[in-house]
Amino acid sequence: MLVEGLARRCIAKIGVDPGILNAVRWVSDRYAELAGKTGRQEAERAEGLLVLPALLSTGTVSVTNGSTTVTPDSDALATFDDGALVGRWFRTLRGKPLYEIVSQDASTFRLATAFVEDTDADSAYEIIARFHSLDDAARHVGKISHRQGPLIEWTQERLDTYFPDREETDEEPRYWAPAGVDDLGRIRVEVYPSAPSTGDVALRYTYWRSPTDFKKSDTLPEHIDVYVLEKGVLADICRWKASELRSGAMDSQVSADRAAVMTATARDFDNRADRFESVFMRKLEDGVRAATVGKGPRLVVADEGRIRRRPRQARDDVETLY
């Protein structure tokens, strides 16, 4: 069903015309409300591709205790793409501390914190990509899968407990953990092990899109309950008409008798709006309950205002998890 079709049907049922653009906007708003409250059940499911960049370790680097500057040799520089190191993590040897890379120029790169180990003019090193931003539209994350099967979902705290130094860098990825959002508000995850030595590794993940504003020509998602959506829009149209009538009743050019009729009619539209809203909210609450008792993903509101799935209890056997 087209968005415009639902909007015009709602206008016809009430018998007043707020304008097709207003009605389409109310369809979008009510859909967003459904999606935001019931999560997976009312959002658009999609798939994304996440590429883990290969481990960088060619050549050597020069590091100085107390400095944030790292100077690679020519062999190392030849493998670095311009700007590609920013946001990745550096260390000299496995098991040593990891340092986030915050800037890169033609001959050096800088760390977020000063290097605390011994000065070394010819040190082996590793650069890995720990964190990864997902699709801009992702609101909830489902599974993240490797060619060997789904990764196990953990928390950052559990990764830090069991793998505080993230020592494994050339193994197949086995775990993923939510890691907040990036500077652009995109959902961010950590994958571990995260830096294959044999080349880039592609992972696939499922997610549910954030609701977007509909256009008249858009088709409503197949999973949407049009009956519930319609009740919300009908309530909006009735409230719009009630507001219009009240504004008209306050016009000094309108007679007292006419103003009284308009005010009474506005109350009638308010009552109709309340009845439609009651149905919408009851169905919405049913959807929220379904999403929190096992028929949908368990949801938690992040501090940043975004919604993500609550991590399952970690298990060692991927087959039992999925």
Q: Which two tokens stand for residue 198?
A: 């044999």
Closest C-alpha among 65, 59, 67, 103 to residue 85 = 103
Quote the pLDDT of residue 210. 59
Distance of CA 280 to the CA centre of its chain: 26
Backbone angle region of 149, left / alpha / beta, with phi > 0 → left and psi within -120 to 50 → alpha: left
Domain locations in the chain as residue ranges: 3-43+212-301, 48-211
As a whole number of angstroms, the distance between CA 26 and CA 253 comes to: 31
The pLDDT of residue 33 is above 90: no
237-254: per-residue pLDDT in tens? 998 999 889 888 877 788
Q: Which residues of 100-129 are buried (b: 16+ CB within 10 A; e: fewer)?
A: ebeebeeeebbbeeebeeeebeebebbbbb
Is the pLDDT at 309 greater than 70? The verdict is: no
Lowest pLDDT segment from 70-79, 88-97, 243-252 = 243-252
Average pLDDT over residues 82-94: 90
Confirm if 88 and 130 have CB atoms less than 8 A apart.
yes
Helices (H) and strands (E) in the chain, counts: 7, 17
pTM over the 0.75 mark: no
Token pair 């415009």 is found at 4
Backbone angles phi, psi at 38, to 5 degrees: -105, 0
Model confidence pLDDT, tens digit, residues 210-235: 556 788 888 887 777 888 899 999 99
At 279-304, the pLDDT tens digits run: 888 887 776 555 554 444 333 323 33
